[in-house]
Every structure is written in C-alpha cells, then in structure tokens.
A and B are shown apart, each in its own frame.
Chain A
C-alpha cells in the first residue's frame, strides 16, 4: 500500500499515527491486504453475500425504563471529565 493511502485510511479511522508507527503498520497492513487478494481466486459471483449467520426479521420491544434509576449516574461517573451532570470536551468553536 502507498504511504498516502495508509494516511488517508488512518484519518478516516480517526487515528493519528506517529512516525515510527507509520512504517510498522504500513508493512503489517500491506501484507494483510496482499493476503486478501487470495480471495480473487475463488469464483463466488453467483452467490448472495451473507451479512449475518442467522437471518431473522427485526424484533422490537416496548420502550420501557429498565428499572435501575442509578444507571444514568453510574454511566456519567465513568466519563473522563465532567461538571455536574455534563461531560466536558475541548471548545468546539
């Protein structure tokens, strides 16, 4: 893979790679992509793609409160930085 292709992919994946990582990962990604070309050999054109091992219809459930009123606070407590019940992030503007 070309290095700029790797950097475009990294940017799409929101990964900021350091210089030393770029060379290492470029080699690893390229050898896997090359390995994936083995799939070119097999003719499966007439088959439908399988997205899921078990195909079922969508199921819905009633939109009910789960019954644990402490859950929202317990989840918010896991945030890295907060003020009262708000999660703090750097300035957007």
Chain B
C-alpha cells in the first residue's frame, strides 16, 4: 500500500507536501505539519502493517518537539517535551507523526469553530464546519492528507466529526488506550480515538496503541482474550422513536436498519428512556471535572502569562481571563458552580446516579442484543455561524454520543451514505472490550456505504504517481 511507502524519499515528500498544501489552503485542518519527518523515513519496522505510515494527532495529544496548543491561546507556544504513550507506541510500530490538527479549545465544542487559533472547513463544503472537537483530524483524514489520525472523545469528539466528514471514527472502551500525554478535559470520560477511511487501519492502530500503561492509573490491560467477537448472526437494537433527527439523518437511520433486515439480521426496536437525561448529566460531570483539570493553567509554570499581574493571585486571574475563550470559561464556571457546597447533591451526585442508570439500561439491552445502532448526531455538517445551531443547541444534540462516554463503552461512527451531497454517519455501541465487534459490524456495510471522496481527493498512489 502506498501509505507505507510514501515516506522515505525527497521526491515523494515534495509531492506529499504539495498535496497537503493544496488542501490546507481550503480547509485549514492542521495547526502544524512537518513532512520533513516523513522525508527521512527512517522508521521502517519489518512485519508491521503500519510501517512507514504518516499520521496526524489532534493538538491535545503530546508529540515530542511538536506544539501542544489544545486550540487555545493559553498554550499557543507550548512545545511538548515528550510523547503521549499512544504516540510512542505508534512510533514503535513504524508510524511517523507529520501533523497536529485543529480542535475546539481544550476539546470543548462540536464544530471546531471554538478553536482560538484557526478556522477549519469541511472538505465536502468549505462553508460548513467539520464537527468537533476533533474536527481537524476528521477533515485531514477525509481529504486524504493522512491515512489515519488520532483524536480524543470525551462526549463524541471523534465520532461526531467523523460523521460530518464521512470517515470512520472509533471511540475505544474507557481505559483501553492510555491517556498519558492526552491533555485532560474530563478524566473519567476522556479517551484517545482513531479516525480513518479504512476499517483495517483503525484495527491495526487500535491494536498498536491499546493496553495498560504504568503512566496511566486508569488504563486497562486488554489482553487478546479480553476482546469480544461478533456472533455469526449478531442481533442489533435500534431506537423505536428517535426524536429530533433531521430528514437526512432520519432517512439514513431507517435505511440502515432496513438494510440490516434485508441482509437477514435480527433488528430489535428498543426505547432508552434515560436518553432524555444523558446530556444534562454529561455536562454536569464533564464541566465539574474540567473545572478541576483546567485549574493548572495559571500562568506560572508554562503556557500564556498575562503581563498585568502585580501579585500572584492577580496574575492567575488575568492570565485565565486573557488566555481562555468564552466556551472554556463557560464550562469552568458551570463546573465550579455544580461543585459548590450546597449544590453538589442536586447536580453532581444526581448526575453520577443518572450515570449508573445509563449503565444499567445499556446492560439490559446488551443482554438480548449484540450491538446498538444509533445516529451519530441529529444533523449533518452545519454552516459556520448557523444560528439554529447555537452553542446551546449543539450541546443538546450530543445525546447520542455522550451516552457511550458516560457508560465507558466503545462506539464506532461509520459513513452511511451521502444525502444532499453531505455525508451522514451512524454509530454502533458495543459492550466493553467490543472494539473488534464494532469494526466487524462496520464491515457488514462496507460495500453498501463505501467511503466517498470529496472533490480534489487523491489516493496515496495518486499523490506520488
């Protein structure tokens, strides 16, 4: 495959750089790209299917000597002194990091328009957003700039942009991939995910990065024997009455369920009453954890420092006011509020109990079904500045994705056809350790819903051809 051989010569690297440059003029998916790493191509590992492959990482994942901005002015000039464990393992498998991708500031958003540093456009229509928060990774993969990219998924941030850009996006089981080197947003929900146009690449990358890491207390061992397999005739559950879907997503969802039935699979209709409560529970928990995690940005040890502070305390307050954008401040305020004494039981503890309820309801479904199929997001990619998709509306629309994070289960968004020239994605949920089930289930649709090419797309062969 040409992605394994694109790196390693000056001639190929020049063509590759030119292809990235052409696309980047239109979509601005990358905060930094360095094809010279690819040109050296010294990273050949025999026997590795990933040997020589370039890749991109969302800019909240540490890659040594690359910046680590998190899409924030707060960290605009921070250079990472080390590699995240996932990146280190990919390098050991022969992969070469070539780019850091744009994102909503600290992972907070569903459009990538909350980046303080760059506006990223959807490769299918540059007037539209890529989704978020891993929007740069999704756009770069969709445009064929890299064979795969790492993102992070706290409440849907890998799956939702994957659906907006027409690629696959895997959110692994909580703890399956070490968070060491992933800048923390909400630690009990965060997980590093993988985006690609190719199911097998996702599988290989997942196998390379998964497993326990001494640097992350919450990482899990994930032996081969832990991995669940898809039954020969898996049973799927779908929502009986999915509410609030756009015409396109509703049609895609119904078509996919009908297609499964046509192929002879049993499809059960279920109700998940808890879905009405997952979004407030998610935002309570995520913002509470974020308010603690983002306390570290105070202008003292690294990152932005205000020039105005006369005392340490004033320095911190001014640094945080000047360094953070509106959405980040909103979430820090919300998280601080729900954790204030007197309010904890009403919000934070209640949300954690709802979290238990979510896990119980999903466990019940998984007793009689192998997988659940859901929309990834209620609408396809929306326009930059679309007033019907305010920051508030975007949050309410997260209900299909956040559920998997609250339960800690794996989920995969897959392309389910284009409607009105825009990709629509759907997702599968599986029980913990069900990554292989998800990927094999996506293969059922692979020929019916091939990954489509936005205009100007070239394969690796065509890039160097």
B34 contacts A by Cβ under 8 Å: no
B366 contacts A by Cβ under 8 Å: no
Are B408 and A54 in contact, CB atoms less than 8 angstroms apart? yes
Are A25 and B218 in contact, CB atoms less than 8 angstroms apart? no
Within 8 A of B (CB), among A4-36: 5-6, 9-10, 12-18, 21, 24-25, 28-29, 31-33, 35-36
Are A78 and B78 in contact, CB atoms less than 8 angstroms apart? yes
Are B312 and A71 in contact, CB atoms less than 8 angstroms apart? no
Q: Which of B277, B302, B354 interacts with A80 by CB under 8 Å?
A: B302
B21 contacts A by Cβ under 8 Å: no
Given that A80-B299, A81-B305 are known contacts, is A32 also in contact with B277, CB under 8 Å in the complex? no
Within 8 A of A (CB), among B326-364: 326, 329-330, 332-334, 336-338, 340, 347, 349-357, 359-360
CA distance A33 to B302 in the complex (A): 32
Question: Which residue of chain B has the shortest Cβ distance to A74 in the bound complex?
Answer: B81
Are A42 and B309 in contact, CB atoms less than 8 angstroms apart? no
Are B392 and A92 in contact, CB atoms less than 8 angstroms apart? no
Are B217 and A59 in contact, CB atoms less than 8 angstroms apart? yes
A69 contacts B by Cβ under 8 Å: no
Are B311 and A9 in contact, CB atoms less than 8 angstroms apart? no
Are A90 and B309 in contact, CB atoms less than 8 angstroms apart? yes
CA distance A24 to B71 in the complex (A): 22
B317 contacts A by Cβ under 8 Å: yes
Are A28 and B353 in contact, CB atoms less than 8 angstroms apart? no
A85 contacts B by Cβ under 8 Å: no
B428 contacts A by Cβ under 8 Å: no
B267 contacts A by Cβ under 8 Å: no
Q: Which residues of A contact B391 (CB under 8 A)?
A: 28
Interface string of B257-286 (1 = CB under 8 A from A): 000000000000000001011011101100
Q: Which residues of B contact A16 (CB under 8 A)?
A: 314, 317-318, 320-321
Are B353 and A47 in contact, CB atoms less than 8 angstroms apart? yes
Question: Which residue of chain A has the shortest Cβ distance to B349 in the bound complex?
Answer: A49
Are B315 and A89 in contact, CB atoms less than 8 angstroms apart? yes
Q: Which of A48, A52, A54 interacts with B353 by CB under 8 Å?
A: A48
Minimum Cβ distance to chain B for residue A6 (Å) = 7
Minimum Cβ distance to chain B for residue A92 (Å) = 6
Can you name 26 A-B residue pairings with CB atoms under 8 Å? A9-B333, A9-B337, A10-B333, A12-B340, A13-B320, A14-B295, A15-B324, A16-B314, A25-B326, A28-B330, A32-B330, A38-B280, A42-B354, A44-B353, A47-B360, A49-B356, A51-B188, A53-B189, A53-B407, A54-B173, A54-B432, A58-B217, A68-B82, A75-B302, A78-B303, A90-B309
Residues of B within 8 A of A (CB): 78-79, 81-82, 173-175, 188-189, 214, 217-218, 220, 274, 276-277, 279-281, 283-284, 291, 295, 298-305, 309-318, 320-321, 324, 326, 329-330, 332-334, 336-338, 340, 347, 349-357, 359-360, 391-392, 395-396, 405-409, 432
